[in-house]
Amino acid sequence: MLSSNTITQVTTALVEFHNKVGTIKKDTTNPFFNSKYASLSNILSTVMPILNNCKLSIVQMVGEDNTLTTLLVHESGEYIGDRMHMMPIKQDPQAQGSAITYARRYAVGAILSLNIDEDDDGNLATEASSSSITYDDNPSKDWLNATNKDGSPTPMAHEIVRMMDLGEYSFDALYSDYKVSRKDRAMIEKLLNETKSNL
C-alpha cells in the first residue's frame, strides 16, 4: 500500500464521501455472466463531483512495466493508494487499452469501496457445470497454457479470465482458439469463481 506519513485528513474526507455517494448505476451488460456492471465512465462521472466536494481527487498512472498506480489524494497532500500489475493477453494497442480500462475500473472501485458489479454467482455456477469438457486435436492449434507446473495459474489464465469478466471472451472462443486440457479448463473455472466471489 502507498500512503503519506499521515492519512488523518484523507480518511475523514473519505468517510464524508461515503456519506454522500449513494448508488452507482450499473449501466453496462456483461453477456458472459448475464449481469450488469458500472462502466468506468459512469463511475467517474458519478464520483468525481462528490470527490471534489470532499477535497479529494483520484490520480491513475500507467507505468512502462505494465503497472497501474492509483492514488486517492486529499488537498492537504495526504494520499493513499496502491499499484497493480496488468497482463494484456497481446501487446497490440487494443488489448493494452482494454487491460488499462479494466484495471482502472477495479482500482477505482476498490480504493473507494464502491459496489460496481452485480452478485451473479448463480449464473457462473450454471455455466460452469453445463459446459462440457472436450479435447480438440486440431494440429493447427496450440495447447492452452493456463497452469504452471506447481499448480498455480499462468499470466495467460489470468488474462483470459479478465476478458471473460469483461464479456469480451467465452469458453466457445477459448475452444476455437486453443486445445484445452481438463486441468486447464478447471483452472479457468476456478479463477472465474474466485473473481465473482471477490466482487
Between these two residues, 4 and 33, which has the higher pLDDT value? 4
Q: Domain map of the chain by residue range?
A: 2-111, 121-197
Q: What is the per-residue pLDDT across 143-190, written as a single tens digit (0 to 9) for each?
A: 888 998 888 999 889 999 988 888 888 887 887 788 888 889 899 988
For residue 6, the model assigns a pLDDT of: 94
Sign of CA dihedral 97, 98, 99, 101: positive
Task: Provide mean pLDDT across the span 131-137.
Answer: 41
The owner of cell 448505476 is 25
> Rounded to an integer, what distance in angstroms lies between the CA atom of residue 144 and that of residue 136?
11
The owner of cell 495459474 is 153
Task: Provide mean pLDDT across the span 67-85.
Answer: 95
> Rounded to an integer, what distance in angstroms lies between the CA atom of residue 185 and that of residue 163?
15
CA-based radius of gyration for the chain: 19
Highest mean pLDDT among 22-31, 72-81, 87-96: 72-81
For residue 135, the model assigns a pLDDT of: 43
Between these two residues, 33 and 83, which has the higher pLDDT value? 83
**137 three-class SS:** coil
* pTM as predicted: 0.62
* Residue 37 pLDDT level (bands cut at 50, 70, 90): confident
Q: Which three cell numbers stand for residue 15?
A: 468517510
CA 125 to chain centre: 19
